[in-house]
C-alpha cells in the first residue's frame, strides 16, 4: 500500500485522528487518544501495535517485519517498504492494531 492509501484506510476506521506529534516526517494515527499506526513518510515504513507473541511470529515469517523502530519492541513491529506489502495483508495488520488499541471488535477488509 502507498502512504496515501494507508492514510485513507486508517481514517475509515472509527474515532481516528491523525497528527504529527514528533516531527514533520512521522504521521501518527490515534484512536481514543492512543497510537495504533505510525508512518514514516520519507522511509515508507509503518509501525503497528501487536500482541507480543504474534509480533515475534510475524518477524520470523516475513523478512520485511522487524521489531518496532523507536518503539517498545515487545509490543510494536515495523513494516519495511510498506508499498511492497500486499494491501489485504497490511489492512489486516492495521485492523489488528486498531482493535488492540481501541478495544473495538471492528474488522474491515
The average confidence (pLDDT) of the chain is 93
Q: What was the pLDDT predicted at 105?
A: 59
CATH of domain 3-102: 3.90.1150.30
Q: What is the pLDDT of residues 57-92, one digit of tens each?
A: 999 999 999 999 889 899 999 999 898 899 999 999
SS3 92: helix
Query: Are residues 76 and 65 in contact, defined by beta-carbon separation less than 8 angstroms?
Result: no
The domain spans of the chain are 3-102
pTM of the model: 0.90
Amino acid at each position: 500500500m502507498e502512504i496515501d492509501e494507508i492514510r485513507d484506510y486508517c481514517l475509515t476506521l472509527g474515532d481516528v485522528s491523525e497528527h504529527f506529534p514528533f516531527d514533520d516526517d512521522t504521521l501518527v494515527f490515534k484512536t481514543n487518544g492512543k497510537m495504533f499506526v505510525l508512518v514514516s513518510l520519507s522511509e515508507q515504513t509503518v509501525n503497528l501495535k501487536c500482541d507480543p507473541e504474534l509480533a515475534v511470529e510475524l518477524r520470523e515469517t516475513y523478512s520485511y517485519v522487524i521489531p518496532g523502530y523507536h518503539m517498545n519492541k515487545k509490543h510494536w513491529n515495523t513494516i519495511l517498504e510498506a508499498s511492497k506489502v500486499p494491501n489485504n495483508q497490511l489492512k489486516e495488520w492495521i485492523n489488528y492494531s486498531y482493535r488492540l488499541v481501541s478495544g473495538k471488535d471492528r474488522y474491515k477488509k
